[in-house]
């Protein structure tokens, strides 16, 4: 990989060439990773946070991610990248951005209010994207003045280590924007999976489906959690088994997603009793020390 790429040229937002000015709303775990990805690709990046303390923390997260890339030989120097980074609390600074990726917490009202507020500062041709992992892109687009310019860009955690981005096409998204987004994903050195807006997109729907079946198998005594995971790791070359992945994600998080998928897609996603019981007992996975496995 070239340490310092040439900055991309300023182009129309619906071009597959990366936009020159990219904004990120919310510089938390995901937003900082997204900002880092665009900085490494040569863009000018603006991160907007809710207050000065959060802005300072966001800057720290992005700078430390860049420093890690420098240590790995993926970037020439911290300064050559952070010189293209602005962190602010002022939404009006989004005005020159051709693309803004929203990464505020997964709360519907907060997403809607934040997206509307960003859109008010953008040029008509600019693209607004959401990194939401579950909310309806079509529903969010319907709240906006330019729904055709809205798309889902679902980055994975941790962003620097993950090569996947789910491109989620809302009913209102114009097809050219989907094509452009594929180009942006490639320019970030990642692979796009393009999905029609549907509950759980592709990744959560499939990931949760296999995890719920694995839980039902534990419940029925078909095999131990260890053996079920080994079947997928050794037999199907999954890097991590479905139950260990559930422990890492958090059993409470998986329960929330399963309930949402059961509501929207039907009973096949109904959470097994073992999942409800474990969450009720506070066995939330890695973060609590116990889930389907014990975590030291």
Ligand X SMILES: NC(=O)c1ccc[n+]([C@@H]2O[C@H](COP(=O)([O-])OP(=O)(O)OC[C@H]3O[C@@H](n4cnc5c(N)ncnc54)[C@H](O)[C@@H]3O)[C@@H](O)[C@H]2O)c1
Beta-carbon count within 10 A of 44 CB: 20
29 belongs to the binding site for ligand X (CB under 6 A): yes
Longest CA pairwise span in the chain (Å)? 59
- Nearest residue to ligand X, using CB? 28
Q: How far apart are CA 286 and CA 278, in angstroms?
A: 13
Q: How far is the CB of 12 from ligand X (least distance, A)?
A: 27
Binding of ligand X by 132 (CB under 6 A): yes
Q: Find the binding residues for ligand X in span 142-201 (CB under 6 A).
A: 156-157
Number of chain positions touching ligand X (CB under 6 A): 22
Q: Is 100 in the site for ligand X (CB under 6 A)?
A: no
How far the first Cα of the chain sits from its last, in Å, is 37
Tokens 């909310």 belong to which residue?
135
Closest distance between ligand X and the C-beta of residue 111, in Å?
7
Rounded to a whole number of angstroms, the minimum distance from the CB of residue 3 to ligand X is 27
Does 18 help bind ligand X (rule: CB under 6 A)? no
Q: In angstroms, rounded to a whole number, what is the distance separating the alpha carbons of residues 83 and 50?
A: 22
Contact string 248-287 vs ligand X (x = CB under 6 A):
----------------------------------------
CB 14 within 8 A of CB 180: yes
**Which residue among 13, 22, 24, 30 contacts ligand X (CB under 6 A)?**
30
- Assess 27 for contact with ligand X (CB under 6 A): yes
Phi–psi pair at 22, nearest 5 degrees = -120, 135
SS3 of residue 164 by DSSP: strand
Q: Binding residue for ligand X (CB under 6 A) from 94, 99, 131, 284?
A: 131
Q: Report the distance separating Cα 86 and Cα 76, nearest Å.
A: 19
Q: Are strands 99-102 and 21-25 parallel, antiparallel or unpaired?
A: parallel
Q: Residue 86 interacts with ligand X (CB under 6 A)?
A: no
Query: What does the binding site for ligand X look like in residue numbers (CB under 6 A)?
Result: 25-31, 48-50, 54, 58, 103-106, 114, 131-133, 156-157
């Amino acid at each position: 990989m070239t340490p310092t790429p040439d900055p991309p040229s300023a182009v129309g937002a619906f071009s597959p060439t990366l936009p020159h000015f990219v904004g990120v709303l919310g510089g938390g775990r995901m937003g900082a990773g997204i900002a880092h990805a665009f900085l490494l690709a040569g863009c000018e990046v603006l991160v907007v946070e809710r207050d000065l303390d959060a802005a300072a923390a966001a800057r720290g997260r992005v700078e430390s991610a860049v420093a890690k890339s420098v240590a790995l030989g993926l970037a020439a120097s911290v300064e050559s990248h952070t010189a293209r980074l602005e962190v602010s609390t002022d939404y009006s600074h989004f005005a020159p951005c051709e693309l803004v990726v929203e990464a505020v917490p997964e709360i519907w009202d907060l997403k809607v209010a934040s997206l509307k507020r960003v859109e008010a500062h953008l040029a008509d041709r600019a693209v607004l994207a959401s990194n939401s992992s579950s909310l309806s892109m079509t529903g969010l687009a319907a709240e906006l003045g330019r729904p055709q310019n809205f798309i889902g860009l679902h980055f994975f955690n941790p962003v620097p280590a993950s090569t996947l981005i789910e491109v989620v096409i809302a009913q209102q998204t114009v097809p050219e924007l989907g094509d452009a987004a594929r180009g942006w994903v490639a320019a970030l050195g990642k692979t796009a999976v393009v999905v029609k807006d549907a509950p759980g997109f592709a990744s959560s729907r499939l990931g949760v489906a296999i995890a719920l079946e694995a839980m039902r198998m534990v419940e029925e005594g078909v095999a131990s959690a260890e053996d079920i995971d080994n079947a997928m790791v050794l037999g199907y070359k999954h890097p991590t088994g479905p139950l260990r992945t559930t422990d890492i994600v958090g059993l409470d998080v998986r329960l929330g997603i399963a309930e949402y998928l059961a509501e929207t897609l039907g009973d096949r996603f109904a959470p097994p009793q073992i999942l409800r019981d474990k969450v009720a007992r506070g066995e939330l996975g890695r973060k609590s020390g116990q889930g389907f496995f014990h975590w030291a």
